[in-house]
Amino acid sequence: MAMPSLFSEYWRLEDVLQKHKVLKAALVIQNWYRSYCARWKARQRYALTIFQSIEYADEQGQLQLSNFFSFMLENYTHIHEKDPELVARLFGSTLQDCKDRQEYVSFIDVPDSYNGPRLQFPLTFTDIDLLVEAFKQQQILHAHYVLEVLFETKRVLKQMPNFTHVKTSPSKELTICGDLHGKLDDLFLIFYKNGLPSGSNSYIFNGDFVDRGKHSIEILMILFVSFLVYPNDLHLNRGNHEDFMMNLRYGFTKEILHKYKMHGKKILQILEDVYTWLPIGTIIDNEILVIHGGISESTDLNLLHRIERNKMKSVLMPPIPLVEDHDTDLKTNKVGATLIPRELKTNGSLSEQLTKHEWEQVIDILWSDPRDKRGCYPNTSRGGGCYFGPDITSKVLNKYQLKMLIRSHECKPEGYEICHDGKVVTVFSASNYYEEGSNRGAYIKLCCDMTPRFFQYQVTRTTCSRPLYQRVNVIESSAIRILKERMISRKTDLIHAFQLQDCSKSGKLSMGQWAFSMENILGLNLPWRSLSSHLVTTDNNGNINYMSSFQDIHIQKPVKEAQSTLIETLYRYRTDLQIIFNVIDSDHSGLISMEEFRAMWKLFNSHYSIHIDDFQIDELAERMDLNKDGSIDFNEFLKAFYVVHKLDKLNKSDGNPP
């Protein structure tokens, strides 16, 4: 009987050894897979860093552009005499109360042939459902109804305080959504998962409803109609993109003019006014502060409760001091701020401004970002607001007996982020913000005396079926593409910086020298060493052939004879220039005179310290006047400046889409 027992022991031992091998193999595979995922996730983070760095650099450029308009008023001779409407547009209010619905809406008929949604005033829940279903079918709301909604929204908003105070209860939860940025599918998904707004389903939408995405007006209409139906249960905070100057750069203005060709300018004009009446924050249960951006060491909630928020026409336009002066020339004070003579007021609008201190308070709550570093210091990435550390958070919350700050304003890979020992929460609701698959969206649910709960989602079409490496490759390729476009716009400056480092004139630099030059010229805080394999070629010794930075990309020249420096400058500042000329194009003809072009370009040249000779500008202006009638179609001209990627050409030659 001993023999079978021996065999049994043997087989049991074999079984144990086999299981041990299987377990060991499983652990090896698991470790490999975790390492594999970590590498791809790291590459995804690098790509997101590129997107975010360029996004913030553009915002910094937008703030610099705002400074240019002040500079323009100082230096553009007799601008107030020639175009007082421009002064009022930049620094005053655009819409007089006397321009009521009758003047704007009654003359716009809805034809019988219109088959889109028809709203019935006063609005009800049925209208919310009607809009949502219509927009799912990609229908356009008629301009008559858009204007009606905007006027009614303004009327109700004017009755509201700067900060909305709301209460939760054990039986009534509150949902907080962050930036949507025209991503209508994200709003649909939130409503699908969480329900439409109602008396028992309250929402806070924390700003940045518009820009970047293609469906900003649809989001605004759904939110405004929901607000009008449930003014005590749907709350709207102003973000830094609820601003006509931001809309000019980031797409909403273009969207409106495309969808509403006949009445788009009226819609935009009224929207500018509606923005100014949006509340700037919400306070929940007297414990949780909800604002779009953040705080600073000088944030004064008592002052922010009192300011006349409708005077903040654009957060990008600082207040312009008024002086009692009967001279027609604009003057400047000792610190360089523009002084507008009081007689130039248009309908009194220029006196309707916040003080500089009040303006700075609003800038801080709309533009600031939290950081781990203690203290409060300038937000150098965005160019506006500040970075605030955990000590600042504790100081401000304690001062006003608050427990938590909920804010938005920053894209987060997981849709939300908790920092400052749980006292600051960032929520961002636009998934796929930079590229499909780049980030999740999220919303927060709050109930009385309970910890916030986070709900994540991602609108998916094709990405859900792709493996990780393919999803990351798409994001990474898109990020590298826009980074290369940034590089080609500074080609001359980069080559000059490279050559200063290349003492031996070999055409090569060390990795450190190349990274230093890239950082110094582009001003982007990026992991250049890690990104180098996507941007340049290296030799066997690890030295970089710096001219390979530009080997697969160039700017298309609409004027062949123009110098490269001029072409790069026009490409780099094309968005700024387009905004400037669209603002001064007061009759919206799309044309500006040769004289205006030369005068404005010279101011732009001076303010941005661009070294372009006047004769080049004069020659360019002559070539831009295609039919020699003394006028320039500037928007069409700027469209001629675009970057050509070698990969695009190869794809097209192969018959594949780029």
Q: Which two tokens stand for residue 565?
A: 């420096």
Cite the beta strand spans of 13-126 per DSSP E. Answer: none
Q: Which of 142, 144, 181, 241 is catalytic?
A: 241
Phi, psi of 548 (to 5 degrees): -70, -10
> Mind giving me the DSSP string for 536-594?
-EE-TTS-EEGGGGGTTEEE--SSTTS-HHHHHHHHHTHHHHHHHHHHH-TT--SEEEH
CA torsion through residues 394, 396, 397, 398, sign: positive
- Position 608: which residue type? Y
Q: Which two tokens stand for residue 134?
A: 């219509």
Closest CA to 224 of 211, 215, 234: 234
Burial status of residue 332 (CB atoms within 10 A of its CB: 0-12, 13-18, 19 or more) = middle
For residues 431 and 459, the answer to whether their CB atoms sit within 8 Å is yes
H/E stretch holding 123 reads none
Q: CA 181 to CA 409: how far, in whole Å?
A: 10
Phi-psi category of 550—alpha, beta or left, where left has phi over 0 and alpha has psi -120 to 50?
Answer: alpha
- Which residue's structure tokens are 């303006």? 359
Q: Helix, strand, coil shares of the chain as percentages rounded to 5?
A: 50, 15, 35
Q: Which two tokens stand for residue 270?
A: 């009224």
Alpha-carbon Rg for the chain, nearest whole angstrom, is 28
Q: CA 488 to CA 575: how far, in whole Å?
A: 16
19: which residues sit within 8 A by CB, 6+ positions away? Answer: none
Closest CA to 508 of 550, 480, 533, 537: 537
Beta bridge partners of 443: 177, 455
Closest CA to 406 of 217, 166, 229, 603: 166
Q: CA 257 to CA 105: how far, in whole Å?
A: 17
* Alpha carbon of residue 511 to chain centroid: 33
Q: Is 241 a catalytic residue?
A: yes
Closest CA to 381 of 45, 49, 46: 49
- Position 385: which residue type? G
Question: Strand 174-177 vs strand 441-446: parallel, antiparallel, or unpaired?
Answer: antiparallel
**Distances from the Cα of 230 to the Cαs of 161, 196, 234, 334, in angstroms?**
16, 11, 6, 50
* Alpha carbon of residue 226 to chain centroid: 24
DSSP-derived letter for residue 342 is G
**Distances from the Cα of 520 to the Cαs of 171, 267, 516, 523, in angstroms?**
56, 43, 6, 6
Q: CA 551 to CA 59: how far, in whole Å?
A: 29
Mind telling me the catalytic residues?
241
